[in-house]
Structure 1
Amino acid sequence: MITLDHPLVLLLLPLALVPLLVPLLPARAQPALGAADAGRAGRGLGPTLRVLGAVAIAALVAGLAGPWWGRASQVRVGTGAHLALVIDRSLSMNDSFAGRTPDGQNESKAAAAKRLLTDFVHRRPHDRMAVVGFSTAPMLLLPMTDHKPAVEAAIAAIDEPGLSKTDVGRALAMAFSLFDDSSEDAARAIVLVSDGAGIVPREVQEALLPMAARQGASLYWLYLRTRGAKGIFQPPAPGEPDTAQARPERHLNLFLKRLGVPYRAFEAEDPEGVAQAIAEIDKLEAKPLLYREEGPRRPLGSLLFGLATAAIIALLAARLLDRPLPPLPRGALILEDDA
C-alpha cells in the first residue's frame, strides 16, 4: 500500500507533459550528404529525450509528494494511561534529602526525581504524557504526547536551577486542563512530584474542584520529604498551630483529599523511597489502553529522486554532445534533422 505525506504536490504532474510538446534540441543543418544516414538514425533520439524529460519531471514531483510503501497504522490494546507529570522546580529541589548542597556522594532531590522518572517513562511505552514544571508560576514544558524522546527531554530540564516559590495550585489547574483533548476512554492520572507546598489560594481551590470532577483523573502526590521535616500525615503536636501557613504540606494533602478524585500520597526521604513510590504508581496505572501502532513503512522518495537524477544526467549528456559543426561550403546540400 502506497501512502503520501503531501498528496497535493501531485497537482504538478501535468508539467511532465511539457517535454513531450516542446522540442528539447534545436534543428541543425547537416554539413554534407554523408551525414544523411546519421540524421536518419538520430531521428529516434528526439522522442527518447522527450520521454526522459517527462520521466525526470514526473519522478521529481512524485518524490516531493513523500510516497511510502507499507502497512497502514493499526489500533491495538495495551496497558497504560494518559499521564500529566507535575514537577516542582523550586530552589529547595536542588538540595539533597538531607537538606544540604549535594557533595558528589549524594544526589539532589531534582536529580533523583529526573533519573527515576526517566526510567518510569521507559517502562511505559504506550502512555501519552505531558510535563508541567512549577515554582513561582506553572510552566507547560510539554503538552500531551506519545513522543517519548520529547517527554524525556522535558524531564531532563527539571534539575536546572529553580526559584524559591511553590505555586502548586495553579500547576495542578494547568495539569487538569491538559486532559481536555485526550480520549475519554483512556485512564487519566496526575503525578505531582514536590518537596514542599505553598498556600493554595481559595479562588484556586474553588476552580480546581469542578475541574477535577470533570476530568476524573487519579491524583498521586510524591512528597520528597527533607530529613527532619514534618510529614504530611503527621498530626500537629498539642499547642502547635495547625494552619496552612504553619503546615502547608499537611493542608495541601487535606485539600487534595477533598477534590473527589482517586488520590494517594507517598512520602519519600531518600532515592530508594522515591523508586518504591514510582513503582507503586506504575502498578496502579497499568490499565487497558487503546493505542495506534504505525505499520512498517519504506520511503520511496530516494528511489524516485534517483530515477529523476539519472534522467537529468542523460539529458545533460545529450545537450553537451549536441554541438554545432563548422559551416558548410557554399552550394552544399542541406538536410534538416528535426530531432
Structure 2
Amino acid sequence: MNLSLAYPWVAGLLLLAALPLMRSFFRKETVSWAPLLPAHQSSIRMRRLLQTLGVIAIISSVLGLAGLHQTEQTLLRTGNGAHIVFVLDRSGSMNETFGGNVPDETTPAKREIAHNLLSKFVDKRPHDLFGVVGFTTQPFFISPLTEHKSFTQAAIDSLQSPGLAFTNAAKGLGMGLRFFEDQPHTGSRVIVLVSDGAATLDHRAQRVLREWFERYQASLYWFFLRTENGLGINSTPDSSRDDNPRVMPERYLDKFFSSLPVKYRAYEIDTEASLQAAVDELDELENMPLTYEEQIPRRPLHTPLFILAFLCLAGLTVAKFLEHKP
C-alpha cells in the first residue's frame, strides 16, 4: 500500500502527540507523604492506556487534516476474454421495430432489443474490456475501453434514447478502431458493429479502414438488424443496373468487410431470437487468454482516521467523567 499526504506541512503538528506523555490526563492531588499512596499496577496500566488513547487521537486527527490517502495504483490482471468495442448505430431508423413500425408495449424498437442483449452480454464477460462508440452522420465517443462494467452499462444505456439523422458506419468504425491505439495486444480484439443499415464507402474510407484493421488486427462482427421486407446482406439485384453500392449498400459493405485481412462474421438479424443467437456465438468465439492493467483510483483515508480519533476522544471523555472528585 502506497500512502501519501495531500498537505505534508500539516504533518508538523504530529509533535503534539508527545503532549499526553508529558502531562497527566488527571489533575494532581497533593499528599503529605508519598508512601501513603503506593503505585498500583492497575492504575499504572490505566494511565498508559489513557496516554496511548491521547497519542492515537492526536496522530489520527493530524493525519486526517494532512489528507492521508492511498495513491493511485496499477494492478496487472489476467483472465480469459477480449478487448471489445461496440460501434452502435444511433440513426433514426433504430427507433423502429423489425417490422418497420412504431414500437409499442408488446413490440419493442430495435435499439431497445439491442440494448437488453448487449447489457446481458457485458454482465457475462467479467474479464473483458469494453468500449462504446455511437454514430449517425458523424461518430461520437461514449465510453473508453475499460474494465469497469458500470461505465460500459451506462454507455449501452444510451441505446434507450431515440436515435436521429442518418447512418455513416465508416466513421463509426474508424473511431472504434482508434480505441486499440497504444493498447497492449493481449487477448482478442473485436469490433462489434450493430446497425440496421449501411452507407456507401468511398475509396478513401475503404483504404483507411483496410489499413487500420490490418494494423490493429481486430476481428469484425456485423450485427445487421434487417427490417422486414428490406434489403439484406445476401439480397441479389433484380437487374445488373441495380447491382451497385447506392442501390444495395448492405450487399457491397458486406463484400468490402469480407475482403479485409481479419476475421469477419456477418449476422443478418430480423428477430430478437436471432440477435440472441448472434450474441451467444460471439461469446463462444472470442474468449482467449487476456492480460490487462486495472487502474485503482486514489483512496482518501481521512474518514476512518477521524472516526478513530473520535473514538479515542470518547474514551478519554468517559475516563475524565469517572475521575474521582474529592
- TM exceeds 0.5? yes
Contact persistence 2:186–2:292 (CA under 8 A): no
Contact persistence 1:83–1:129 (CA under 8 A): yes
**CA distance in structure 2 between the aligned counterparts of 1:133 and 1:244, rounded to whole angstroms:** 23
| 1:256 has 2:257 as partner | yes
Contact persistence 2:83–2:129 (CA under 8 A): yes
Offset at 1:154?
Answer: 0.8
Equivalent pairs, count: 306
Name the structure 2 match of 1:177: 178
Offset at 1:130?
Answer: 0.2
**CA distance in structure 1 between the aligned counterparts of 2:160 and 2:200, rounded to whole angstroms:** 23
Name the structure 1 match of 2:137: 136
Q: Which amino acid aligns with 1:141?
A: I
- Structure showing greater radius of gyration is 1
**CA distance in structure 2 between the aligned counterparts of 1:201 and 1:37, rounded to whole angstroms:** 102
**CA distance in structure 2 between the aligned counterparts of 1:73 and 1:176, rounded to whole angstroms:** 25
**CA distance in structure 1 between the aligned counterparts of 2:31 and 2:70, rounded to whole angstroms:** 45
| Greater length-normalized contact order (CA 8 Å, ≥ 6 residues apart) | 1
**CA distance in structure 1 between the aligned counterparts of 2:243 and 2:62, rounded to whole angstroms:** 72
Secondary structure of the residue aligned to 2:242 is coil
Name the structure 1 match of 2:4: 7
Name the structure 1 match of 2:56: 55
Name the structure 1 match of 2:118: 117
Contact persistence 2:76–2:291 (CA under 8 A): no
Secondary structure of the residue aligned to 1:162 is coil
**CA distance in structure 2 between the aligned counterparts of 1:36 and 1:48, rounded to whole angstroms:** 23
Contact persistence 1:198–1:248 (CA under 8 A): yes
**CA distance in structure 1 between the aligned counterparts of 2:126 and 2:285, rounded to whole angstroms:** 16
Offset at 1:314?
Answer: 6.2
Contact persistence 1:13–1:58 (CA under 8 A): no
Contact persistence 1:82–1:182 (CA under 8 A): no
Deviations 1:130-170 (A, max 9, x none): 01111121111100001112111111111311112111111
**CA distance in structure 1 between the aligned counterparts of 2:17 and 2:285, rounded to whole angstroms:** 66
Contact persistence 2:85–2:130 (CA under 8 A): yes
Name the structure 2 match of 1:325: none
Contact persistence 1:75–1:292 (CA under 8 A): yes
In the alignment, which of 65, 68, 71 is matched to residue 65 of structure 1?
68
Deviations 1:227-255 (A, max 9, x none): 10111122222244222211111111112
Identity %: 37
| 1:18 has 2:16 as partner | yes
**CA distance in structure 1 between the aligned counterparts of 2:106 and 2:318, rounded to whole angstroms:** 69
| 1:287 has 2:288 as partner | yes
Secondary structure of the residue aligned to 2:290 is strand
Name the structure 1 match of 2:157: 156
Secondary structure of the residue aligned to 1:81 is strand
**CA distance in structure 2 between the aligned counterparts of 1:310 and 1:164, rounded to whole angstroms:** 60
Secondary structure of the residue aligned to 1:232 is coil
Contact persistence 2:92–2:162 (CA under 8 A): yes
Instruction: Please report the RMSD computed on the Cα atoms of aligned residues, expressed in angstroms.
Output: 3.8
User: TM-score with structure 2 length normalisation?
Assistant: 0.79
Segments of 5+ residues of structure 1 without an aligned counterpart are: 321-339
Contact persistence 1:66–1:300 (CA under 8 A): yes
